[in-house]
A and B are shown apart, each in its own frame.
Chain A
């Protein structure tokens, strides 16, 4: 009955705290939706379209070349009558390609003079530039090869569509279906973990108020064992975290497709996701209890805990994907508890990993939770 009373009290306090509900439910809903929408092109077949101005002589040959370039799907090429650099910032082009009017004869003569010059906006990525270069080389080569095939009466129809003969397939660790990574998988994993760790805000608010207003002393004076007090925080917040996880997965499965995003498929991984969310939640709550115990005021806990959470998130690849970080940053990030959680979720959702692929990260999270919980309980015993 004593423990029932503690659980009931904690649930009533959480569900009556509008700020806690905002942080735990509305914040991840918004983050997951916004970030999934923002990242959808990164994971779709269609990629960012660039506007490219092609300055060259306009004739049948270059019109054919332009057509070939536009078939690439990466950029929209248009003829430009001038090579004015204002095209970039005033007329909305991302790059200007100057193609020598005599490019064909220069290539045939094997001259060393440049036949192409590209001007681009300062923020055009290296990857985009490589793709533009590749598009140009491919189209020019194709055009020259075509002339060669015609001259030598070669049937080049199969060679022309060589790209169509290349197949590509994503391979998952333990699944044999071919499935592309989707933006909801990435956003859900990242921002759900971020919000699970923000459980420290309601934990520290209730806990510090209980301590500072003498309620904890009063509870202790009623012969309530200290482990009941600690479990009385762990259990309800653990349940809240699990409600959070289920709610966000339902969002990704049923709500995000309404916005045109890919539906999240769980396949046979529900048990692995459940184990991972248990470990992440245990780590997050224990960390929250530690912050609550070492802080004197709610303001101190919110500032310290919030800052640490943001640092954990930045290091773990939640805010900036890990694969674009330098190796040294990735190594530092691998010490963040959020990173262990994120790697587990991505391993399951994106790579189709099994328990063997995630158990080490979950063990780290569990150990992290045990250490935080031990420290929190020790400090609580000394303070009470």
Chain B
């Protein structure tokens, strides 16, 4: 298993966010994490990514305990936030160079690594252009490319296709599939677009009411719900009520 979570609990003050959450994610899979707004997806990803400390429970990333091996876990994982987390006034090359240096990539490998991730995300022709005026799709690809710089074993993608047109979305989804297939990277993917999850995920879990309320592979789920769309099934499982 790539990720094993047992009885994970997290609160902010009196506000309980995750309550004895348990989950297992297979190595080399694309795992969809679904849940209504405020369900705790971002908190869960932040804990897995060592950005937030858990209160209780056990978490193992690639066999490493999150309590004891933070540095090793950071070295093998990468986080692509929902926001454009780069510098608009820097060029694609300068952005990639900056984050590559933070990841500790050696000077002699720097240029090759940058060219490699840029070509993986089809950014070669933008290398010397500042990111400020890029379209949403190119910005999303740069956001993902930064996440590939340390050749992560586990890649966390938080709604990576928000705000872009269908062509760019499909392109990015194909890039994600390629990352998973060619680099054997385990991908944890959150999105509100059910069709995307259907398109790229092998397995998924629904996080609601502070814990995992459903976990299955896409095919099993569809078979057990008379081949309804994933969105219909999601609403059925999470009781269709409005979440703020």
A residues in contact (CB < 8 Å) with B? 1-2, 4-6, 8-9, 12-13, 16-17, 212-215, 217-224, 384
Contact = CB atoms under 8 A, between A and B. Distances in A.
A5 B87 contact: no
B98 A5 contact: yes
Interface residues of B, number: 31
Given A214-B85, A221-B74, A2 B50 contact: no
A1 B86 CA distance: 19
Contacts of B81: 214, 217-218
Interface stretch (B57-65, B101-109, B177-185, B228-236): B101-109
Interface stretch (B2-10, B89-97, B205-213): B89-97
5 contacts: A2-B102, A6-B98, A9-B90, A13-B87, A214-B82
A222 B51 CA distance: 10
A219 B89 contact: no
Contacts of B51: 217, 220-221, 384
A215 B102 contact: no
Contact of B94 (A9, A212, A215, A223): A9
B85 A5 contact: no
Q: Give the residue among A217, A218, A220, A224 with the most B Cβ atoms within 10 A.
A: A218
B78 interface: yes
Given A4-B101, A222-B102, A215 B85 contact: yes
Interface in B75-130: 75, 77-79, 81-87, 89-90, 94, 97-104, 106-107
Contacts of A218: 79, 81, 85, 99, 146
Given A4-B101, A213-B84, A215-B85, A221 B90 contact: no
Contact of B107 (A1, A8, A384): A1
B71 interface: yes
B102 A219 contact: yes
B49 interface: yes
A12 B103 CA distance: 20
Nearest to B97: A5
A6 B102 CA distance: 8
Nearest to B107: A1
A218 B104 CA distance: 14
Given A2-B101, A5-B102, A213-B83, 20 more contacts: A4-B101, A5-B101, A8-B94, A12-B89, A12-B90, A13-B89, A17-B89, A213-B85, A214-B81, A214-B83, A215-B86, A220-B51, A221-B49, A221-B51, A221-B77, A221-B78, A222-B99, A222-B150, A223-B75, A224-B102
A215 B106 CA distance: 22
Contacts of A17: 89
Nearest to B78: A221
B79 A12 contact: no
A9 B94 CA distance: 8
Contacts of B101: 1-2, 4-6
B82 to A, nearest CB: 7
